[in-house]
Amino acid sequence: MSAHTLSSANKPQPFSLADWWSRNQRKVIPYIFLAPFLLSFVIFTVYPAGVSLFLSFQRTRGFQQAEQGGGVVLEYKGWANYERLLTKDKRFREAMINGAEFWLGTLLVQMPLALAVALALNSPNIRFRILGRLAFFAPYITSAVVVGWIFRFVYDQNFGWMNSALAQLGIEGPAWIRDANLVMPSLIILGLWTWVGFNSLFFLAGLQNVPDDLKEAARIDGASTVRVFWHITIPFLRPVFVFVVVTGGIGSFSLFSQPYLLLDFPNTGPFDSGLFPLMYLYDMGFLNIRMGYASAIGYILTVVILIITGMQLLLFRLWKV
């Protein structure tokens, strides 16, 4: 407390909120700015996560009478939901395997293709830049529902454009989404169409961040194009790889709208070949009203996604060294 405050205490002033505010607003304002985020975080993330955890240990036993509210009657079942999901539930296992297959497709096909397209776009003397940018971005901003519908028709065995194109090449087209072995490739092709161009724009932005003089210097020192690519370009693309790989992993396991429309949910393809974890969660929670079981699916799915994301980040950290 300074002397100034003491002297002003002689002539007592009423506490003025406006005064206090003008002195302290800089300290207080960030909390006010953040309040909507924090409120929303507590109400729409923390609280539901808690409810979900509670529910995941319950089982739906029945329903209340309508006059009592028509709610769900729950019963504590301990780890039963988790146990069942992890050991007995074949559909859940199938859904997780399908997620993993799609993820592998993303990593092994989509990533290299996206990088190739980006390298092509980044090379000198490329025409159709503006057209390319529109064409590669358009699939990403198109509603997944629309994409699902279009591909359902495109994959039609007799009248779809896929098989018509194959027929031009003299190949008799398969049944695509009606063939258990081809549902996943069909979905991966749909995924390629949606995301290769989009991801290539990320790689392209990364490529344009690689300093030209560095490549120049390496070339003058006699490094081959391949060596420049491996030792300069690729390391510079690291953050883009992290982003594309991590979002690809999360996206693969949370695929929903595309298979929903493509396979005409509640159909999930022959032998559940197009069943994805979120579809199963939706099926259990909303069509079968087994909220507890569905919550447990949500938790297992989240843990799997977190583990995969963590593993990927760890690998990228090792790469940095």
Partner 1 sequence: MFKRKGKSAMGASRVSVMTMNTIVLVGVLLCAIPFVYMISASFRREGDLYKLPVTVYPREWTMHNFHTLFEKTEYVRWYGNTIFTASIRTVLGVYLAALAGAAFAKYDFRFKRFFFFLVLATLTLPFHMLLIPLFLLMRDFGWVDNYLAIIVPGMVNVFNIFLMRQYIESVPDELMDAARIDGASEIGMFHRIILPLVRPALGVVGILTFVWTWNDFLWPLVVLHDDAKYLLSNGIATMDGPYEVETGAIMAGSFLATLPIIIVFLLMQRQIIAGLTQGAIRG
Query: What residues between 148 and 207 interact with partner 1 by CB under 8 A?
Result: 148-151, 153-154, 158-161, 164, 193, 196-197, 201-202, 204-206
Choose between 15 and 159: whose C-beta lies nearer to partner 1.
Answer: 159
Q: Give residues 80-99 in contact with partner 1 (rule: CB under 8 A).
A: none
Rounded distance, CA 244 to CA 112, Å?
11
Residue 78: in which H helix or E strand, if any? none
Rounded distance, CA 148 to CA 136, Å?
18
Q: Which of 97, 100, 234, 242 lies at the binding interface for partner 1 (CB under 8 A)?
A: 242
Q: Give residues 32-71 in contact with partner 1 (rule: CB under 8 A).
A: 33-34, 36-38, 40-41, 43-45, 47-49, 51-52, 55
| 16 scored as a contact of partner 1 (CB under 8 A) | no
> CB of residue 80 vs partner 1: minimum separation in angstroms?
17
Rounded distance, CA 105 to CA 67, Å?
51
Q: Give residues 285-304 in contact with partner 1 (rule: CB under 8 A).
A: 285-286, 291, 294-295, 298-299, 301-302
Q: Which of 96, 142, 136, 111 is nearest to 252 (CA)?
A: 96
Q: Which of 128, 252, 106 is nearest to 193 (CA)?
A: 106
- Give the torsion through C-alpha atoms of 61, 63, 65, 66, to 10 deg: 170
93-132 mask for partner 1 (x: CB under 8 A)?
A: -----------------------xx-xxxxxxxxxxxxxx
Interacting span for partner 1 (CB under 8 A) from 9-17, 87-95, 138-146, 172-180: 138-146
Which residues lie below 8 Å from residue 95, measured CB to CB, with a gap of 6+?
Answer: 272, 275, 276, 277, 279, 280
Q: 3-class SS at 60?
A: strand
Choose between 148 and 191: whose C-beta lies nearer to partner 1.
Answer: 148
**Would you state the structure tokens that stand for residue 159, as one six-digit string?**
């009248």
Residue 303: in which H helix or E strand, if any? helix 291-320
Choose between 197 and 269: whose C-beta lies nearer to partner 1.
Answer: 197
Interacting span for partner 1 (CB under 8 A) from 78-86, 100-108, 179-187, 274-282: 274-282
Q: Which of 19, 20, 22, 266 lies at the binding interface for partner 1 (CB under 8 A)?
A: 22
> CB of residue 130 vs partner 1: minimum separation in angstroms?
7
Interacting span for partner 1 (CB under 8 A) from 96-104, 175-183, 241-249, 266-274: 241-249
> CB of residue 33 vs partner 1: minimum separation in angstroms?
4
Q: What is the DSSP string of 188-253?
A: HHHHHHHHHHHHHHHHHHHHTTS-HHHHHHHHHTT--HHHHIIIIIHHHTHHHHHHHHHHHHHHHH
> CB of residue 298 vs partner 1: minimum separation in angstroms?
4
